[in-house]
Amino acid sequence: MNEAELIKLVKDAVRSGNIDILKSASGKLKGDSQILLKTVILGMEEARKDLMDEKISLPEFLLSVDTFREGLKIMGKNKDECETEDKPTILIGLAEGEVHDLGKNIVSAVLEASGFKIIDLGHDVTRDAIFEGIKTLEPDLLGLSAMMSTCIPGMQETVSWIKRIYPDIRIIVGGAAIDADIAVSIGAHGFAWNASGAVEEAFRLIGS
């Protein structure tokens, strides 16, 4: 198998979520690690398109995310080494009072795999913690999520307060409790139904 075929194998392994094939193909490739990095990123992008086109289910897409992360480990890279100054930064966290963090963690993993730098504030994030995060880290986007409708009034207050102090920061919201209308009432600039949608919306807001 020549190098071009091995590169295709790596890409397809990420796209299909096959860690074993990724390890085997990567091990045979002796070359520029930047080529390998670009290949796994490409595989991840193709998997995301497959999800958007409904060719694969979310769990199949998540297998690609796991494989992508494994690809970084194989190259001996952690996420910090892959980060460049060009990567847009997203500060992400759960609304105050909210503790269901699985969805937020999945969105974070997908955004990272799609080229964003993620700083995760965790769960039950107070507005003071958000304020500190924005002040010290100067993110491009703020992402907040809530699964419980009881957290929405607090989110609304937080977004309103943040926008007064940092009018330039773009805010994206999501979670089971949120829909497009609620996102507007909260005062957010963007909204995402799911992890894949979050990537599109993040690119849109960065562009704006």
Partner 1 sequence: MTAGSILDKLRAPDIEEVSRGIRLFSGIKGQVNQILSGCIDDMASGAIDSLDTGLLIKDEAVDKIGPGFILAEKMNVQSKRLSGIASLMTGPVNLYAFALTLGKRMDTFINQMMKDSVTEAFLADAAGAFIVEHLAEQLEKQIDGELGNLHLECTARFSPGYCDWGLADGQAAISAFMDLNEIRVSLLPSSILKPLKTLTGIMLSAERVPEKTPCSLCGDKVCRYRRKC
Under the rule (CB under 8 A), what is the footprint of partner 1?
A: 16-19, 57-60, 62-63, 65-66, 97-100, 102, 105-106, 109, 148-151
Q: Which is nearer to partner 1, 25 or 169 (CB)?
A: 25
Closest approach, Cβ 102 to partner 1, in A, equals 5
Rank residues 129 and 148 by Cβ distance to partner 1 and give the closer one. 148
Q: Smallest gap, in angstroms, from Cβ of residue 175 to partner 1?
A: 13
Whole-number minimum distance, CB 53 to partner 1, in Å? 15
**Helix (H), strand (E), coil (C) string for the chain:** CCHHHHHHHHHHHHHHCCHHHHHHHHHHCCCCHHHHHHHHHHHHHHHHHHHHCCCCCHHHHHHHHHHHHHHHHHCCCCHHHHCCCCCCEEEEEECCCCCCCHHHHHHHHHHHHCCCEEEECCCCCCHHHHHHHHHHHCCCEEEEECCCHHHHHHHHHHHHHHHHHCCCCEEEEECCCCCHHHHHHHCCCEEECCHHHHHHHHHHHHHC
Minimum CB distance to partner 1, residue 61 (Å): 9
Kindly state the smallest distance separating residue 80's Cβ from partner 1, in Å: 18
Q: How far apart are CB 89 and partner 1 at their closest, in Å?
A: 20
Our CB check for partner 1 shows the closer of 109 and 134 to be 109
Considering the complex, state which of residue 45 and residue 112 has its C-beta at the smaller distance from partner 1. Answer: 112
The residue among 18 and 33 lying less far from partner 1, judged by its C-beta, is 18
Rounded distance, CA 159 to CA 142, Å?
10
Tokens 């890279």 map to which residue?
A: 77
Cβ closest to partner 1, residue 106 vs residue 134: 106
Amino acid at 142: L
Residue with tokens 């494989």: 67
